[in-house]
């Protein structure tokens, strides 16, 4: 394997000049740069990125810990974070926590051992009481709705406002008996915040909040959504709209309503939340909330990269809430 000294000798320059070319130093003449690059190509010289990063005390890799990698939302989010990381010259290593508190804590405690320069952590199992665990000696950015006001940078969705807009969209399309499919709403998380937005939209429109229309699922999956939609249709429950707190649940609801011979959007209108890629290609295509994944990813990676560059794990923490838009498709008559 060719060394930097071999390149210097072949190009007739010093090893320092070769190093300046490799690191794109601006004070290298064009002719010299071309000569060095030609020698590198001829000798098949490869820059040892790992060694260079270690000399800087970095690996060039950040961790991304998410609950599940096989859910459309987290796949979409991971792709956006990987793209943003590339723009910052970083690579991403992905871990799956299973939405379990102990696995999220392990991701925090083990990130240094795994040689990550920083960690983006989607908190689902951890809660507000776990904020002290975030006081680690390397940069961390958290995603999600479980921990606000913690000691690290935080990127979140506009859950209440966006859910209010989604429910209002159903009401504006003529729905008066709007159901919500969500998880448990006892503690602050995606389900409880989106339930709050749902309730505010109904109250603003002068519609009563019927407890029978609040359908809580054990898991936010397609199977659970399909099963509950079939049960709702067969039980005789009066509903003409459904707000699903995730697109994954909404996909199941569309299947379940079809199984029960309920026509969407003619009899029941359905809207989801996340705007995953698959939602556009369903039959009918799914109306949804687009939380602007790309901006969320860019902000999360940008905050992390800034901390890494300044060697400042914590400081003046920032809390960023993404913008959103309502994407109208066939499932609500679009």
CB atoms within 10 A of CB 89: 9
The secondary structure element, H or E, covering residue 254 is helix 247-259
Q: So what's the pLDDT on residue 114?
A: 76
Question: What DSSP character marks residue 293?
Answer: H
Examine the pLDDT at 50 and tell me if it is beyond 90.
Answer: no
Average pLDDT over residues 150-161: 93
Q: Mean pLDDT score of the chain, rounded to an integer?
A: 91
Q: So what's the pLDDT on residue 94?
A: 95
Examine the pLDDT at 28 and tell me if it is beyond 70.
Answer: yes
Residue carrying structure tokens 């099963």: 227
- Predicted confidence (pLDDT) per residue in 229-242, tens digit: 999 999 999 999 99
For the residues of 143-204, what is the DSSP string, one character each?
ESSS--S-SSEEEE--HHHHHHHHHHHHHHTT-SSEEEEES--SSSSHHHHHHHHHHHHHHH
Selection from 134, 172, 170, 174 nearest residue 150 by Cα = 134
- Predicted confidence (pLDDT) per residue in 157-216, tens digit: 999 999 999 999 999 999 999 999 999 887 778 899 999 999 999 999 999 999 999 999
Residues 200 and 164: beta-carbon distance below 8 Å? yes
**pTM as predicted:** 0.80
The number of residues in the chain equals 334
Tell me the percentage of the chain whose pLDDT exceeds 90: 72
């Amino acid at each position: 394997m060719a060394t930097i000294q071999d390149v210097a000798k072949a190009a007739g320059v010093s090893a320092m000049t070769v190093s300046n070319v490799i690191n794109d130093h601006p004070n290298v003449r064009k002719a010299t740069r071309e000569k060095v690059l030609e020698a590198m190509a001829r000798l098949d010289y490869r820059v040892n990125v790992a060694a260079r990063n270690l000399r800087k005390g970095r690996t060039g890799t950040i961790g991304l810990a998410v609950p599940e990698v096989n859910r459309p939302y987290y796949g979409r989010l991971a792709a956006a974070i990987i793209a943003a990381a590339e723009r910052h010259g970083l690579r991403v290593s992905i871990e799956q926590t299973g939405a379990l508190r102990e696995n999220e804590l392990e991701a925090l405690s083990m990130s240094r051992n795994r040689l990550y320069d920083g960690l983006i952590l989607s908190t689902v199992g951890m809660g507000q009481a776990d904020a002290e665990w975030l006081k680690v000696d390397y940069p961390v950015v958290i995603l999600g709705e479980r921990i606000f006001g913690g000691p690290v940078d935080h990127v979140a969705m506009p859950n209440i406002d966006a859910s209010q807009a989604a429910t209002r969209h159903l009401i504006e399309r003529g729905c008066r008996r709007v159901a919500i499919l969500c998880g448990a709403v006892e503690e602050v998380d995606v389900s409880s915040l989106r339930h709050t937005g749902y309730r505010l939209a109904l109250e603003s429109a002068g519609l009563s909040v019927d407890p029978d229309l609040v359908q809580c699922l054990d898991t936010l999956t397609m199977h659970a959504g399909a099963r509950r939609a079939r049960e709702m249709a067969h039980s005789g429950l009066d509903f003409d709209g459904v707000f699903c707190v995730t697109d994954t649940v909404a996909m199941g609801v569309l299947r379940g309503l079809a199984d029960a011979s309920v026509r969407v959007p003619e009899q029941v209108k359905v809207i989801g939340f996340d705007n995953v890629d698959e939602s556009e290609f369903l039959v009918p295509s799914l109306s949804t909330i687009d939380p602007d994944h790309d901006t969320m990813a860019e902000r999360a990676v940008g905050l992390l990269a800034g901390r890494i560059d300044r060697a400042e794990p914590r400081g003046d923490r920032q809390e960023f809430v993404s913008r959103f838009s309502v994407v109208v498709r066939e499932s609500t008559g679009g």
